[in-house]
Structures are given as C-alpha cells and as structure tokens.
Amino acid sequence: MKRSIFRAASLSFGLLVWAIAGPAYALTGAESAAVEKAENYLNAITTMQARFLQVNPDGSTLEGDLYIARPGKMRLVYDPPTPMLMVADGAFLIYVDTEMNDASHINLGDTPAGLLLKENLSFSDSDVRLGAVKLGAGTTEITTSMANDTAAGTLTLVFSDAPFELRQWRVVDAQNKEVAVTIFEAKRGVKLDSALFRYDTRRSGERD
C-alpha cells in the first residue's frame, strides 16, 4: 500500500524521461497561438503558492501544498498521513519518504518538472516532443510526449481560458496509469523562503 502511494505521488511530476525530438505534427495557426500563450504565461511566473488535489489511478485522492520559484525550484508537500515530499532544488528533483527519511535524486532536466521550471520555457525545445494541442470550450490542453521506454508516458497541461491560468496537469505512464493534479487557491508573485527548496534530512517531514 505504501509503495503504491509513493509510486502515485512520484508520478505526479517526474518518473518519466523526456524524448529528444521535435513536434509530432504541424500545428494550426490557432494551436500555435495557444502554445505561445501558454509559454508566455508560464515564463511570467516567478513564484507561486497553491493548494493541490491529486487523483491517483485507483481513484484515491491526496492533497497538499505547492510552491514554485522559477527558474528551477519547486516543492510539493503532501498532507498527513502521506509520507511524501518532492523538492526541486535547481539541479535535482528529490523524492523524499519522510517516514523513512530517505531520498532519491533524479536530474531535474530529465523530468517534466524540469521543462516547466526552465528559465526560458519553450515547447519546441529539443528535449520535448509536442504531441497534441486541444482547444476546448474554455480550456486549452497541451500534451507532450516522453521517451519510448519502460518509463515512457505523457504530460498534459490544462489551462483555463478566462482567465488564462494553469489549472491541472495529468501524467500517464507506460502502463496507461493516470495521475491528475489540480491546483487551486493559487497566488503568484509571493515571497517564498529559499529554505523551501532545500532538502534537509533533519527537517524533511516538516511542513512550511
């Protein structure tokens, strides 16, 4: 049970490796405009604080707090009793089992989080394959593809149109297991303590 929770939590932002490829197909004018709008929105974020709700493949839910400081920094703190923490410190995405006080490090640039936290984000980067752009009623969805291996999958970003804001991301792994993370109560441009983005074993389970 604990392993499945850790796996689902980890899938929320990182256990996927990016492909080295260009766009999967030619975009229409409206799709190109939507992609550019999403890039501009994400690049305008310096700091953000929000709550998140995560829906796991088995339908269970987890909640917690999200902190972002671009470029390169992020922290996801899961509400108790989930013994899970994620910290992006600018170089690594660190998965922490706060109960065991144990951590695993993945190069940030090899994860979807690395894309969103880049100083100059672009969906045409050589380390991303832009899959599909879906323009719906009041929403824009942008899907990116991962490497074709055992950890492959997709990341879909969902934006609301009025106002244009990031509302959700969905990660689907190679086994077609989906984790959806919805953010709410988001505040941009807030002052955040730099200690949020450092992992310290002596305080890994502490909520800031």
Domains of the chain: 2-187 (2.50.20.10)
Show the low-confidence residues of the chain (pLDDT under 70).
Answer: 1-25, 127, 145-152, 201-208
Q: How far, in Å, are 75, 181, 184, 187, 208 from residue 65 at the CA level?
A: 8, 12, 10, 12, 9
Question: What pLDDT does residue 201 have?
Answer: 58
Question: What pLDDT does residue 11 have?
Answer: 61
Question: What pLDDT does residue 3 have?
Answer: 54
Do the Cβ atoms of 115 and 93 come closer than 8 Å?
Answer: no
Question: What pLDDT does residue 200 have?
Answer: 74
Q: Which amino acid is at 2?
A: K
Question: What pLDDT does residue 5 have?
Answer: 52
Question: What pLDDT does residue 75 have?
Answer: 96
Closest CA to 115 of 193, 16, 7, 10: 16
Question: What pLDDT does residue 14 have?
Answer: 57
